[in-house]
Amino acid sequence: MTNKKNQQRIDTLREELDSHNYSYYVLDNPEIPDSEYDRLLRELDELEQQYPELITTNSPTQRVGATPLDSFSEVQHEIPMLSLGNAFSEQDMTDFDRRIREGVEKKNIEYAAEPKLDGLAISLLYENGLLVRAATRGDGRTGEDVTLNIRTIDAIPLKLRGENYPAVIEIRGEVVMPKSGFDKLNRQQLEKGEKPFVNPRNAAAGSLRQLDPQVTATRPLSFYSYGVGLIKGMSLPNKHSVMMGKLKLWGLRINPESRVVKGVKGCLEYYEQLAKKRNSLPDEIDGIVYKVDDIKLQGIMGFVSRAPRWAIARKFPAQEEMTKLLAIDIQVGRTGALTPVARLQPVFVGGVTVSNATLHNQDEIDRLDVRVGDTVIVRRAGDVIPQIVSVVKSKRTGKPRRFYLPDTCPVCGSETARFDDEAVTFCTGGLFCEAQRKEAIKHFASRRAMNIDGLGDKLVEQLVDEGLIHTIADLYQLNVENLVKLERMAEKSAKNLVASLEKSKKTILARFVFSLGIHSIGETTAQTLANHFTTLENIMGADEEKLLAVADVGPIVAENLMTFFNQEHNREVVEQLIAVGINWPKIKKKSANDSPLAGKTFVVTGTLETMGRNDAKAALQELGAKVSGSVSKKTDYVVVGENPGSKATKAADLGITILDEKAFTKLLTQ
């Protein structure tokens, strides 16, 4: 390829990549998938590596690669980057509008309105269309040169689009970190054992002030333009909104929520609309900026102190505030999870008064190093539960003690447990704990557990609320007389429920073990335990060594079982259940060697009533049988439940023995 053709291909690739950046960031309408963009970028990079003399500073490949700085140099803003006055109420906005109208002697004013992004203000200087310098706002007159870092942000063009841009233009805007990128970055920080960022603004500022641009390049930063400063070689258009339209044509990203509104009524309506959308927006915003759209009127209004008279920021209620942590209480959830809750000195944040905040778990308490008496920063965004995001350690006084979740449940006194692969600490008194009562009963009665027909969730809640049952064993003390006293409980329904309770007493050991709701003991594990130990007494009395000898039982399952059955309350409830007559067929212990099923091939199809397919598979494998997913001439038995499908048909055609669920259960216990 001749040098001319190389240059042509390189130019074409640069134009394509710039065009795709424009479509992605400015128009929010990507034309190609990320993989294709990456392919074009790789091709360009390879050509530039072959012909380094053709590399230009505005090439898309040159966004990263500069050597780290020792420090940032200062930049003097030729036109100061002023701050804005604030409005906190409708009255403040009404007063602002009145001053504008009186100052320019007009009855109605059009305002350019846009979200006030919670990021870092930046000045971008373009000369002849090329980005030559980027600087932070600083104190408004002097900022820091962050050009190398700004060049790593794909949303900022290194070269303006088109040809009708001015010779010199300073574009002003906000560098932000989208919420999704912030969440991902913090997950990565925690995985590396590093401190997470407090909020997206903090993350954006920290990322942009890295002395090594290659670090900045790894951060998910974006950019929105909101105005211009210095401009040479072109006069400003007559309206701010028209100027923003030109910036968009030149390749700069404009906030899609920007609007032109009429009068104070339009301002207030826009505020209400955006306040409702605030939490669903991709970026954090803390208010709305209103500017007189007519640039000539802006000139008439002028400036006061360090702010323009023609613009104002209407702030949303703060989403973060400081307050005191007065205490940490423990809530026990319906599944037994212990959640620490911070009791706070009441503070107005996110539009409401907050006095409680979640601390999630012990890991979160340790990460924050939060202690009773600390001054903390509380965050509330929309309907999200308030949370403590950081501790103001400079305000810590004395020597407050670290907080640890208790060893016993504050509701029932049972031991608490936490395992290495879980963040949650939970109460082990599942059959007795008042906090878990409803959930334990619902699980016990469910179809895959004791299958108590007619005992739905609402009835369970009614029975508990009326004080008729306190543990699962109390279910079997219910009678028609006390049931018919319940609201909407007819005599026939009461009789049916009592009959269903009586019927449920006859079960199998695996279902009974599963019904107890022991943490991490599912149907398959319950079946495996039943097959291995054959009696409930053996399961309850097994130590760690015996439990670990069971197939598919690891240290966590073993610890859960021992902890559960070591609780006196749980054992009492189990004994009460046996005393009311719950029973199951005896299981004859078989080894894989002497079992008549050893070496036999089974296929299980359809829905089984008393156990899941995984349970059936585990039971068969425990007895040395093989379980296949397809029927063939080598299949010995096909077990069919409800809606068995084509496998049952094929088995019948091949003359293979077909077992219904009753025959299958009998075969397992022979």
What amino acid positions are annotated as catalytic residues?
116
Q: What's the start-to-end Cα distance of the chain, in Å? A: 81
Distance, in Å, from the CA atom of 227 to the CA atom of 500, rounded to the nearest integer, reads 73
Determine which helix (DSSP H) or strand (DSSP E) holds 297, and give its type and residue range: helix 295-301
Q: What distances in angstroms separate CA 669 from CA 173, 585, 586, 666, one per listed residue?
A: 75, 8, 7, 5
Question: Under a CB-based contact definition with an 8 Å cutoff, are residues 347 and 354 in contact?
Answer: yes
Provide the residue type at 415 as one letter: E
Query: Tokens 């907080």 identify what position?
Result: 403
Strands 85-87 and 311-315: parallel
Contact 93, 264 (CB under 8 A): yes
The CA-CA-CA angle for residues 547, 550, 553, to 5°, reads 75
Cα 162–Cα 165–Cα 169 angle in degrees, nearest 5: 135
Q: Please check whether residue 349 is in contact with residue 286, taking contact to mean a CB–CB distance below 8 angstroms.
A: no
| Residue with tokens 């079960």, as numbered in its chain | 507
Backbone angles phi, psi at 587, to 5 degrees: -105, 125
Q: Distances in Å between the alpha carbon of 584 and those of 8, 504, 613? A: 83, 10, 20
Which distant-in-sequence residues (6+ apart) come within 8 Å of 641 by Cβ?
Answer: 604, 605, 606, 607, 608, 609, 661
Query: Letter for the amino acid at 650?
Result: K
For 343-383, the three-class secondary structure string (H helix, E strand, C coil) is EEEEEEECCEEEEEEECCCHHHHHHHCCCCCCEEEEECCCC
144: Cα within 13 Å, side-chain hemisphere: 16
d(CA 49, CA 248): 32
Q: Residue 507 contacts by C-beta under 8 Å, 6 or more apart in sequence?
A: 450, 582, 583, 584
The full length of the chain comes to 670
Contact call for residues 129 and 159 (beta carbons, < 8 A): yes
- Cα-to-chain-centroid distance, residue 558: 31
Radius of gyration of the chain (CA): 35
Strand-pair partners of 574: none
Is 553:412 a contact under the CB 8 Å cutoff? no
Residue with tokens 């233009």: 169
CA–CA separation, 578 and 573 (whole Å): 9
Which residues, other chains included, contact 568 with Cβ-Cβ below 8 Å and sequence gap of 6+?
A: none
Contact partners, residue 196, CB within 8 Å, separation at least 6: 186, 189, 190, 367
| CB-side neighbour CA atoms (13 Å) of 20 | 18
Distance CA 427, CA 559 (A): 14
Residue with tokens 């919670």: 118
**Residue 50: what residue type?**
Q
